[in-house]
Every structure is written in structure tokens, then in C-alpha cells.
Structure 1
Amino acid sequence: MLCPLLAVVGCREEKAAEPLQSLKPAPLPSLATGGSRASEDGGPVARGDVPESAPVYGEALPSNALRLSLAGEQVRLGGETFEPSRSASIARLAERVKGHEVVLVPDADTFLAQVSELLAMLRDSAETVWLAHPDAPVAYPLVLRDEDGFRVWLAEVAPGKLRIIQRADGFELSTSVGKLPGPDANGPSVPVREGRQDLATLRHGLGLLKGRFKQSEDICLVPSFGTEVSQAARALGAVYTAPGEPLFDTLCLVFPTPPRVRDGG
């Protein structure tokens, strides 16, 4: 009696479970091959010793922003000079910038570690913080995160969690599923060439990551704390593929958690 009954009601075919291999994330693209960057006609570009120059893109400089000029451990606003490492001085500067757009204008010799107190104050007081490019009239709007804030961001459940780790030997492009492979498996994704940042290849690598993580809307630049602020600004330019056209909507800059601010003015 069982078989005729099955013939009437039909048999439900059970679908075999997908193999565990199919649950693995898709592999990351690679910058390991020498001709990984496409030329304008679609053919491969051979890697030379000297990196190609990359056009500088970004946003137009904000016209109404307060201009903060960096000079080591000092910062100038108009005719005034402030020392953010001193509590009275940074308190006065905080009052000046509160609720305003500000644009940071780096010199050649100011390092990220020297501006940690300034960046922490701007994160809490300014309406919007921009970083100007040292070589072109463009700037980049930033979300500022110290080390603790960066760890909180990393812990969020979201695809990608893309980071540009800026090191002395190049750029490491890191994701939630590993780093983008470069020419040396033990080195950065985009090594320096002849002592210079390879911004053209960095831009290409970021384009590969955007293609892999299409839903990712933000990216963090994590410079070593001995990096010049001007070099960090140049790296941010690689996120743009044309004027006003970033690959990612939100640019985050990670800075060192500042030491305790000294007393005095």
C-alpha cells in the first residue's frame, strides 16, 4: 500500500547539502603579477623600477573652512600659533574651531605622532575635518579614529573592513579575509619603488578591492605613526579615480591615542 500512496502524493526529493568548500569566501584578487595594472588600451603595463606618476584627484578645497597650518608640534590659525600638547593652548583652539569646518594644511616635516592631540580635539569639536593634499588644490573629508575607535570599527560586523596600512616599505591592503597579495608574499601589497610611494598601483589595488567588496562604503588609512602627514594625504588621493569620485564614500584616518596633555599655555 505504501508505494501506490507515494505515487499519488509524490515524493519530495531531498537536496544534497552544499560541500563545505563552497562556503569559503571567494579568493582575493592579486597584485602579484608584474603586468597586473591595465594600460589605457587594456593591455598589461610592465613594471619598471620607478613608479609611474599618478594624477592627483580629490574634492575641491572647502571655501569656508578654517585653515590650520601644521608645523611640527605647533599649528597656526590666522595670525595665532597654538601648541596642542599644552592644555590651555588646545582649549583656546577648541573654542575657535567648535562647530566649524577645518582644513589641515600639512608641511613636509610634520609627523602623525606630533598631531595626535590636535586630531583628537578636532574629532570632538570641529564639524568637519579635511586634509589638504600638499601638491594640488584638493582635499579629503575625514572620519578621525584613534586606536580605540579603530578597534571598535574593526569589531563591527560588516563586509570588507578595508584598510590601507601605510608602512615605510609600502602599502598593505588588508580586508576581513586577508591581505591583497603583492609581488612578495612576505611583503606589502604595494611596495615602494626606488624609495617612492607607488600611488598608481595603490589606486589599481583599491579598484580591485572595490570590485571584490562591492557593498563596502568606507576604508581606513592606517599610517605608521612615524609617517609624515603630507604622505598620508598623498595616499588618500589614490582612493579617487577622478575629481570628486572616490571609490569609497567614507575615508577614515587612524591616529595614535594621544598622551596626556601637558598643563600650561
Structure 2
Amino acid sequence: MAENQARIFFGEELRRMREKAKLTGKELADALGCTPQWISTMESGRKVSEQSAKDLDTYFKTDGHFYRLWKHANKVEVQITLPPGFTEYAEREKKASAIRVFSALLVNGMFQNKQYASAVLGAERASGTDELVEQRLERQAVFLRDPPPFAWFALDETVLHRMVGGSEVMKTQLAFLLELSERPNIMINVVPQNVGYHAGLGGSFTILGFDGSDVAYSESAGVGTLIEQPDKVAGFALRWDLLRGHALPVAESRALIRTVLESL
């Protein structure tokens, strides 16, 4: 992952202010009620925290300077965390007339609720989770567009049983899927476990439809790839058709989701 230059600048500013005040790291730590190691960590640009930024502004009387630096560093952290290729995909997603999504391991980000998204993103990073969650939830605004896109969400049944964040989080997420499935423009299909191997197990992917053309998107090992070559997009469309052939119809999928929800 790229270095967060904004966080490094925060550390440089902290060191500059500390030295200007002729304070040792221990003296500043004592004044703030933290450890000298934490001061060193912040000055090196490895980590910063919202509370420490506020404490530094109070101590040095800097009128929100450190807090503003912390907010900027947090935004930069969010941007460098996103998989390469995702930003361009997200812009296309807003304009698609049809969205076909298959999830092999987790509920796709477009269909996650806040609790589930927080559990997923919080497990991957130490800071900046709230902003990433908000960005993820904002993507669902596309469903409220006029006219809204038609969306098909297919998922392997194992996704329903994977305990992301615990049973309470899963209850809210499955209830959210049921709510989404009631919308006339969103269809959710589950590929049952008893199918065994199917074309979707090669990995999750998305196909965006536009007037006269499609693009595909997939992620692997933290790298996102936007696919526009017609022959390669056609390959993803074939995988979609094959896995959908094994999926339960909408009503049966809804019943299965409700059964799993009631078992939690």
C-alpha cells in the first residue's frame, strides 16, 4: 500500500511544534496523558488518532490545525485503500441501466447494510472505517435513480451462512436483503449449496449494462480490474448465465434467506 503522505505531514507538523515549544517527547506525552511511544508513532507518520489531534490543538492552541490535518489524512487513507481500478468502476456504476452481480464469498458492497459493511471494513483496517462505510452505503443511491437500473444479485448460499460480525449483524444484513428483494427493480437469487461446483466459484464479479454495451469488473488480491474488451466481457456474461442456471428462483431464494434469518 502507498504511504499516506498527509499522515506523514501530520507527524512533521507535530515534531515542528514540539521542538518549537522546546519539549521532549516525554514532556509532551505527560502533558497529553499518553506514552512517549505514541508521540513517536505519530511523529513518524505511522498512526494518528482523532482524539490526539484534538488534544494537540487544545495544548498548542492551534485552532483546529491538527484536527484538520487528521481529517485530511483520513480521507487520503480511504483513497489509497480502495483497490486500483475501483474508482473508475464506481463512476460507471452510477450510470448503468442494468447491474448483474455475483458474490461467492461475501455480500457485495452494493447490497450491504451499515452493520455488515462496518464489520467487513473494520476487520481490514485500523482507522478510517466510518468514512469508507459511508462511501459504500452512498453507492446504493443508484437504486433510487429515476429511472432506476435493473439489478440482479446472485450469491452462493455459503454467503448467507458466513458469520460476518456475529449473529446480530447477520440478522440485520439478511433482513436488508429481504427488504431489497421486495423492490421491483432488484432481483436476488441464491445458488444453493447442494449444487456443488458451479461457474460462479471462480470468483465474484459484476457486469454493468449500458445502451448497446457492457463492461465487467472483478477484484482479486486487492486489485480491481475493469474489463471492456467485448470478448472478455462475453466470457463473464457466459459465467453469469451458467451460474444463474443453478440458482433458485426469486421467491424460493427469498424463502431460503428468511429460513437462514430465522435460524440465527
User: Structure 1-normalised TM-score?
Assistant: 0.22
Q: Which structure's relative contact order is higher, taking Cα pairs within 8 Å and 6+ residues apart?
A: 1
Structure (1 or 2) with the larger CA radius of gyration: 1
User: Structure 2-normalised TM-score?
Assistant: 0.22
- Larger fraction in helix: 2
